[in-house]
Amino acid sequence: MTEDKNGETLKEFDPLNRLEPSTNGNSNTDVVSMKDDADTQAAEETNANIFAQDTGDEEPFYDFQLFVKQLQSPEADPLVKYTKSFLRNFLAQRLLWTVSEEIKLINNFKSFIYDKFTLYEPFKSLDSSKTRNAQEGIEKLIMGKLYFRCFSPSLYESLQVSLDDEHMKDLNYDDTLLEKIEHYRFIKPVMLDIPETMPHAKLNKFVHLASTELSKINRFKSPRDKMVCVLNASKVIFGLLKHTKLEQNGADTFIPILIYCILKGQVRYLVSNVNYIERFRSSDFIRGEEEYYLSSLQAAINFIMNLTESSLTIENHKCFEEEYQNNSKQVAKEREEEEKKRKLEVPDELQSNGTLLKPLDEVTNIVISKFSELFSPIGEPTQEETLEPEQSKKEEDVTFLIKKIEENERKDTLETLQNMFPDMDPSLIEDVCIAKKSRIGPCVDALLSLSE
Amino acid sequence: MLQFKLVLLGDSSVGKSSIVHRFVKDTFDELRESTIGAAFLSQSITIHPNDGGEVKDVIIKFEIWDTAGQERYKSLAPMYYRNANAALVVYDITQEDSLQKARNWVDELKNKVGDDDLVIYLLGNKVDLCQESASTEPSPESNKGEDDEQKVRVISTEEAKQYAQEQGLLFREVSAKTGEGVKEIFQDIGEKLYDSKKDEILSKQNRQINGSNNGQVDIHLQRPSTNDPTSCCS
């Protein structure tokens, strides 16, 4: 932990220096001093066991808490240092990186650190699924720290200056999409070719559930967690297709319903979110089903961005025109009111004690932020002395908080599932919830196969 | 294990999704991982290529991407067929205009993907509907109606076959309902793709085996992703 050793580590790892000099002119070569690595003294063992996650049969192994624990072992110290120095450099060298610079820096760092996994215990001797978990862990860790610099709406909110073209484009597209959604939110399912045989009440219920899942995308910072929201929303739509015996229609029905969900759900920053996932989720991880549903979401967004009257099935054009005008007036009125109290929603872990999609992800976020000394990009040595007493107190708070959040989450999942499967015995649903650790995706899968 | 991406194209009433549902269910095997989702399916098969006298087993995993067939969603298709290794272009042998629509898809694939390695498979679906109807007189009314009804073939095997030959496509008539010809589609594609990628596969395997002592070899043969960060909504 000496200055020398730091110097050496940093020489070895210099993704930032690999970047071509930028014409952006915003560069600040005055790299923040590296003195504060002393605080790598690992945060004490967090009570990892309470988060231990069932590996599940359907999903790849994922346990962020395990990764954090591994990272805290003394042998992994160099990895912590690399990560810290990367984060520090990223945040300090410039306030504003262009999108392509961000992607390059983050990818370079990821491949650098993934490489280093092969050198240090405990990562060195992990099997392939645990190694993948560690790679996921790194991604979640660094993107959690860099979120406010990489997610376009947050970046804009925190800097309040005009951004580079690519980030700006995200914001403009978000606005365009929102505008389109508002102007076409009144349309009927049949206008999108959703089969008329689908009972409206059922459709509306599932569409509401799916867009609720999708809207959770703004609560999470890590690309993986955002991706899970997209997958869960897609699963709910699949549930609807199964319920109505239309699953063999495949994309012919899935895509229109997805579009309908977006129009009804009015989720903010969808374009920014999708682009963020595509940019910062390792492309090795966006495979198969993930890739399909992400592309479908992009396709649905594209459709809405280009939506005009002629892209819809309309029987009575005069009637449609009238509805369109009425809705537009309504939108204008709402806009006016909104203008007065317009504030950016950013994910705030501490506030979301309501409904949680994957409590464990959220919970680990809290743990990381509470014990952030270990990963704090810019250390605060003054807090160092009081670290230990502070910490045990924090630990109690965290445990309490986690319990509360988990409890709320369980209730919420149960309620959602009972809504989705009203004909099913509630106690059966509860059993499935317990067996599947209240994770909505696996729960829906299990209940669907039971209801067949 | 080799992994290939396959995209499904065709008008909305031709039953393209049913073909892959049939395939995934018929080849269901507890030992193999398969996925049946809303519009994404995956399934593995084994092919037995003969490489220089030596027959071996090669496992091939297909990731199958369904697309919305309605005319209004046609413009979304490029998001689905990018990086595909194979395309199933489906028409309905009892629907006059569905072959023309299939032809349009073939043209689009040839123009937009511009990859000689892309395997295009032309599939005439619903042979079950008119297997015994060869002798009955074609009447226009019988074209409409429910699936169970006898319908009349309006697209001859010869016409479609000739078109496929001209265009260098694989061709087969199938029934998603009875399963006739369905497994064969995927065997054909697997063999064809294996054949065209053989050299690439073998050199990759050698490299991987030499590079690591890890015996498990997974190869993704999707073409390098052209996912451009701004591709959404551009």
Q: Do the domain assignments include residue B167?
A: yes
Mean pLDDT confidence for B140-145: 44
> In which residue are the tokens 């399916």 written?
B41
For A312, nearest residue in chain B (alpha carbons)? B72
pLDDT single digits (tens) B5-63: 999 999 988 988 999 988 888 877 666 677 787 789 989 888 888 777 777 888 899 99
- Residue A133, pLDDT score: 87
Residue count of chain B: 234
Instruction: Provide the token pair at A111.
Output: 């491949």
Residue from A249, A271, A274, A275 whose CB has the most chain B CBs within 10 Å, to mutate: A249
Q: Are B91 and B57 in contact (CB under 8 A)?
A: no
- The sign of the CA dihedral A246, A252, A258, A264 is negative
Contact B39 A99 (CB under 8 A): no
**How far is residue A117 CA from its own chain's centroid?**
25
Residues of A in contact with B38 (CB under 8 A): 234-235, 237-238, 241, 247, 250-251, 254
3-state secondary structure of B172: strand
Considering only CB atoms, B39 lies closest to which of A166, A254, A312, namely: A254
Considering only CB atoms, B79 lies closest to which of A100, A256, A298, namely: A298
Contact A255 B39 (CB under 8 A): yes
**Angle, vertex CA B218, rays to CA B30 and CA A114, nearest 5:** 120
Q: Do the domain assignments include residue B227?
A: no
Q: Is the preceding omega at residue A122 within 30 degrees of 0, hence cis?
A: yes
- Residue A361, pLDDT score: 52
Question: B170 forms bridges with which residues in the sheet?
Answer: B121
For A100, nearest residue in chain B (alpha carbons)? B229
Considering only CB atoms, A271 lies closest to which of B12, B40, B232, namely: B232
- Residue A271, pLDDT score: 96
Mean pLDDT confidence for B129-151: 53
Q: Domain of B35?
A: 2-127+157-220
For A170, nearest residue in chain B (alpha carbons)? B230
**What span, in angstroms and rounded, lies between the C-alpha atoms of B133 and B126?**
13
- Residue B31, pLDDT score: 65
For B65, nearest residue in chain A (alpha carbons)? A292
Dihedral Cα A346, A348, A95, A105, nearest 10 deg: -100
Q: How far is A194 from chain B (nearest CA, A)?
A: 11
What pTM, to 2 d.p., does this model score?
Answer: 0.78
Q: Are A171 and A153 in contact (CB under 8 A)?
A: yes
Q: Say if residue B78's pLDDT is above 90.
A: yes
Q: What is the 3-state secondary structure (H, E, C) of chain A?
A: CCHHHHHHHHHHCCHHHHCCCCCCCCCCCCCCCCHHHHHHCCCCCCCHHHHCCCCCCCCCCCCHHHHHHHHCCHHHHHHHHHHHHHHHHHHHHCCCCCHHHHHHHHHHHHHHHHHHCCCCCCCCCCCHHHHHHHHHHHHHHHHHHHHHHHCHHHHHHHHCCCCCHHHHHHHHHHHHHHHHHHHHCCCCHHHHCCCCCCCHHHHHHHHHHHHHHHHHHHHCCCHHHHHHHHHHHHHHHHHHHHHCCCHHHCHHHHHHHHHHHHHHHCCCCHHHHHHHHHHHCCCCCCCHHHHHHHHHHHHHHHHHHCCCHHHCCCCCHHHHHHHHHHHHHHHHHHHHHHHHCCCCCCCCCCCCCCCCCCHHHHHHHHHHHHCHHHCCCCCCHHHHCCHHHHHHHHHHHHHHHHHHHHHHHHHHHHHHHHHHCCCCCHHHHHHHHHHCCCCHHHHHHHHHHHCC
Q: Are A122 and A67 in contact (CB under 8 A)?
A: no
Q: Do the domain assignments include residue B61?
A: yes
More confident residue, B98 or A76: B98
Percent helix, strand and coil across chain B, each to the nearest 5: 40, 20, 40
Q: Do the domain assignments include residue B46?
A: yes
Q: Are B192 and B121 in contact (CB under 8 A)?
A: no
A71-75, A88-92, A195-199, B182-186: segment of lowest average pLDDT: A71-75
More confident residue, A242 or A394: A242
Residues of B in contact with A237 (CB under 8 A): 38
> Percent of chain A, pLDDT > 90?
29
Contact A250 B70 (CB under 8 A): no
Residues of A in contact with B17 (CB under 8 A): 248-252
3-state secondary structure of B27: coil
Residue count of chain A: 452
- Residue A59, pLDDT score: 57
A-B Cβ pairs (cutoff 8 Å, strict):
120
What's chain A's average pLDDT? 76
- Residue A68, pLDDT score: 83
3-state secondary structure of B74: helix
- Residue B196, pLDDT score: 85
What's chain B's average pLDDT? 80
Q: How far is B64 from chain A (nearest CA, A)?
A: 9
Query: Which residue, among A77, A101, A114, has the nearest Cα to A2 in the 3D structure?
Result: A77
pLDDT single digits (tens) A347-395: 444 443 332 333 345 555 555 555 444 554 443 333 333 334 445 555 5
Q: How far is B53 from chain A (nearest CA, A)?
A: 34
Contact A248 B21 (CB under 8 A): yes
Q: Are B174 and B127 in contact (CB under 8 A)?
A: yes
Q: Are B183 and B23 in contact (CB under 8 A)?
A: yes
Query: Which residue, among A342, A328, A258, A246, has the nearest Cα to A296 in the 3D structure?
Result: A258
Considering only CB atoms, A99 lies closest to which of B65, B229, B231, namely: B229
Mean pLDDT confidence for B191-201: 84
Considering only CB atoms, A292 lies closest to which of B20, B21, B65, namely: B65
Q: Say if residue A90's pLDDT is above 70.
A: yes
More confident residue, B129 or B121: B121
For A275, nearest residue in chain B (alpha carbons)? B229
**What span, in angstroms and rounded, lies between the C-alpha atoms of B101 and B17?**
16
Q: Say if residue A293's pLDDT is above 80.
A: yes
Query: Which residue, among A215, A225, A228, has the nearest Cα to A268 in the 3D structure?
Result: A215
Q: Do the domain assignments include residue B146?
A: no
Considering only CB atoms, A298 lies closest to which of B65, B216, B232, namely: B232
Question: A165 forms bridges with which residues in the sheet?
Answer: none
Residues of A in contact with B233 (CB under 8 A): 173, 176-177, 271, 298, 301-302, 305
Residues of B in contact with A311 (CB under 8 A): 72
Question: A267 forms bridges with which residues in the sheet?
Answer: none
Query: Which residue, among B64, B76, B13, has the nearest Cα to B38 in the 3D structure?
Result: B64
Q: Are B80 and B89 in contact (CB under 8 A)?
A: no
- Residue A30, pLDDT score: 31
Looking only at the bridges linking them, the beta strands covering B58-66 and B40-47 are: antiparallel
- Helix (H) or strand (E) holding B3, with range, is strand B2-10
Residue from B25, B233, B234 whose CB has the most chain A CBs within 10 Å, to mutate: B233
**How far is residue B7 CA from its own chain's centroid?**
6
Residues of B in contact with A283 (CB under 8 A): 225, 227
Instruction: Provide the token pair at A86.
Output: 């990367």
The band of A248, judged by pLDDT with boundaries at 50, 70 and 90, is: confident
User: For chain B, what is the domain count?
Assistant: 1
For A127, nearest residue in chain B (alpha carbons)? B214
Q: Do the domain assignments include residue B225?
A: no
- Residue B209, pLDDT score: 60
Burial A167-186 (b: 16+ CB within 10 A, else e): bebbbebbeebbebbbebeb
The band of B151, judged by pLDDT with boundaries at 50, 70 and 90, is: confident
The band of B210, judged by pLDDT with boundaries at 50, 70 and 90, is: low
φ, ψ of residue B51 in degrees (nearest 5): -100, 100
Mean pLDDT confidence for A420-444: 80
Contact A250 B80 (CB under 8 A): no
The band of A125, judged by pLDDT with boundaries at 50, 70 and 90, is: confident
A196-200, A343-347, A431-435, B97-101: segment of lowest average pLDDT: A343-347
ipTM: 0.82
The band of B211, judged by pLDDT with boundaries at 50, 70 and 90, is: low
Contact B70 A103 (CB under 8 A): no
Q: Do the domain assignments include residue B147?
A: no
Interacting residues of B200 by C-beta distance below 8 A, sequence separation 6+: B221
pLDDT single digits (tens) A24-55: 333 333 333 222 332 322 222 222 222 223 33
Check which CATH number belongs to the domain holding B50 and give it: 3.40.50.300
> Percent of chain B, pLDDT > 90?
40
**What span, in angstroms and rounded, lies between the C-alpha atoms of A330 and B47?**
60
3-state secondary structure of B130: helix
